Structure 1
């Protein structure tokens, strides 16, 4: 027991401890994903691709929640996804489908959310309709782009501009509870 406590202390000191341990709790639900604008696959089954997209979007929100204080609860209901690009079923060799990414096919996500602090007080809530019209103007850090990078960057930008300032402001004015 003492050794494991020592290891955890050392990991925390070096910033290696699991970030999820001190993160907000997030619950992501998807409302009628079969009706989403565009989560069409190119070379795999529709159901498998849909699950991959939903899992990736859920991970994006989970990673964002890791940046918030422990004890916060964030409810997110995704009501629409329009992935960057558009599927052309006849563009590839031998009639294979390809996702064509052009600036006119910008990513968009619609969702409602409610963020509460560790006392149950509402910090932020609303319905968001995000669309990143300048998504191709960003340069990727690497030569290749990870899957769903455009959607991830769009949500990170929104989080940095909307959620983090609200959390910071709330923490500054929230009453401190003494033990």
Structure 2
């Protein structure tokens, strides 16, 4: 049997035993009530809000995949202040990223197992990264990079350890 077939078989039969497949469910409030989710670059407010929601939901879902199968991360975003601030440029509004405009996210969350038992929860979690520009930016440029990094740091440094998954 050639090496490629062996690797493929290992991936099909061995890796599923070690995979995680949690899911995320995100609840949003009215974007107009959030601290700063204003569009720049001539985006319409509705399409910008949809873009923010889609990008952050995908990110939460990607992180939730690190949870065991059957676990659900439920997040309610109660306030959102994206990194940067929208300022008037020459003819249009631009989101300017400066250290004083750090990302902030307020949320409530719970993690449940497949039976619905709450394993971890908290209300009024306030995330912020006042030194967001002082750290190296890793990877490619992507939409809402600093906001996603804030969520990732919280997930890996606070949420996962609270679950005591034995890793």
TM-score (norm 2): 0.84
Post-superposition offset of 1:123: 1.3
Aligned to 1:176: none
- 1:35 maps to 2:33: yes
Secondary structure (helix, strand or coil) at the match of 1:62 reads helix
Post-superposition offset of 1:121: 2.4
Aligned to 2:159: 163
Structure 1 stretch displaced more, 116-125 or 68-77: 116-125
Higher relative helix content: 1
Structure 2: distance between partners of 1:32 and 1:12: 43
Post-superposition offset of 1:110: 1.0
Residue by residue over 1:151-178, the C-alpha shift from the partner in whole angstroms, topping out at 9 and shown as x without a partner, is 11111111111111122x2x45xxxxxx
Change (3 A) 1:41 1:73: same
Structure 2: distance between partners of 1:155 and 1:88: 25
Secondary structure (helix, strand or coil) at the match of 2:26 reads strand
Structure 2: distance between partners of 1:22 and 1:150: 25
Asked whether the 8 Å contact 1:85–1:107 carries over to 2, the reply is yes
Aligned to 1:103: 99
Secondary structure (helix, strand or coil) at the match of 1:58 reads helix
Unaligned runs of 5+ in 1: 1-5, 173-179
Residue by residue over 1:8-55, the C-alpha shift from the partner in whole angstroms, topping out at 9 and shown as x without a partner, is 74544696x8x9x74112211102222111111112111001100011
Secondary structure (helix, strand or coil) at the match of 2:116 reads coil
Unaligned runs of 5+ in 2: 1-5
CA RMSD of aligned residues (A): 2.4
